[in-house]
Amino acid sequence: MQVGHRMCAGCGAPPIVNQVLRALKDEDNAVVSCATGCLEVSTCIYPYTSWRNVSFVHTAFECTSATLSGAERAYIALKRQGKLNKDKTTKFIAFGGDGGTLDIGLQSLSGAMERGHDITYVCYDNGAYMNTGTQRSSSTPHFADTTTSPAGKVTNGKMQKRKDLTEIMVRHNLPYVAQTALYGNLKDLYEKAEKAIYTNGPTYVSVLSPCPRGWGYPSDDLAIVSKLAVDTCFWPLYEIENGVYKITVKPAKKLPVEEFLKTQHRFKHLFKPENKWMIDEIQKEVDEKWNYLLMMEEKTANS
């Protein structure tokens, strides 16, 4: 991605995109498509484009996967007819926010994954519709305060639990599914992106993308917030290769989930004395997920 894009200062999405595209070999081409969202609207403001060295397809909110699967089929057909250079490889990468992936784009994503196109779908998950002003999405964490699920006298932020799309993608029997974040020196993200791009078949990578505006933290804390999400096991880093689970980062000391929650304004109401039960409930959900992953890792290791 080129400089001059208009994402907010301190946004998590541009480092994710740059790191994913860095994993693409220099000699290979890429076709990139974006679901409507922060990334799409702020990299393609007419008459400018921030996409360089890749072919970019502008598409509607819900059909990123459909657009890209069509492009992939056309590529295969043209290659078979000898109309394209046989020595060149083109990879197909989709970027979507959580709204364009978990809510609006879910059916086209599910369809593309089921049909087995050789595409990589990268979801940068910031947990709400940040582009239009922090409306809740199905990826918004439990009890998070957003403009359409406000914390106040009547409701305590989002009342529903988060949809776990990574697990839904695993059930599509994909060759490679991963969940990662901007953690440490970004090696984890790079390796997973490389594996996803160069695995034959449909692959899905979910990346936690902190949002200073929507989450309510100072813009310079990008790395700290990401690290806390991983260290508290709020956002576990794991991958599933042909059904075999592997947790790639196991925090040496699993921190209580408060450490992550207290960095952000959207969870501020949880720290009132009468709302302690909400933190306990989030902790319970985090522990349940973590124990499930440990169990699955052990169970699938020998198969």
Partner 1 sequence: MKKDISIGSNILRDGNSVEFKTGAWKSRYPSHSKEKCKNCMMCIPFCPEACIKQENNILTDIDLDYCKGCGVCAKVCPFNAIEMKDTHDSKKEVD
Footprint of partner 1 (CB under 8 A): 1-15, 18-19, 22, 43, 45-53, 182, 185-186, 212, 218-224
Query: Pairing state of beta strands 176-181 and 119-125?
Result: unpaired
Q: Please, which residue, 24 or 182, has the CB nearer to partner 1?
A: 182
CB of 125 to partner 1, least distance (A): 16
Q: Please, which residue, 90 or 149, has the CB nearer to partner 1?
A: 90
Q: Please, which residue, 27 or 274, has the CB nearer to partner 1?
A: 27
Spell out the residues 6+ positions from residue 79 whose beta carbon is closer than 8 angstroms to its own: 86
**Type of residue numbered 132:** T
CB of 22 to partner 1, least distance (A): 8
Q: Please, which residue, 182 or 208, has the CB nearer to partner 1?
A: 182
Q: Please, which residue, 56 or 292, has the CB nearer to partner 1?
A: 56
CB of 4 to partner 1, least distance (A): 3
Distance CA 58, CA 295 (A): 41
Q: Please, which residue, 42 or 300, has the CB nearer to partner 1?
A: 42
CB of 208 to partner 1, least distance (A): 14
CB of 122 to partner 1, least distance (A): 16
Distances (CA, A) of 146 to 136, 208, 214, 262, 278: 6, 17, 8, 16, 16
CB of 42 to partner 1, least distance (A): 10
Q: Please, which residue, 185 or 302, has the CB nearer to partner 1?
A: 185
Spell out the residues 6+ positions from residue 290 whose beta carbon is closer than 8 angstroms to its own: 233, 236, 254
CB of 16 to partner 1, least distance (A): 10
Distance CA 88, CA 68 (A): 18
Q: Please, which residue, 76 or 249, has the CB nearer to partner 1?
A: 249
CB of 155 to partner 1, least distance (A): 32
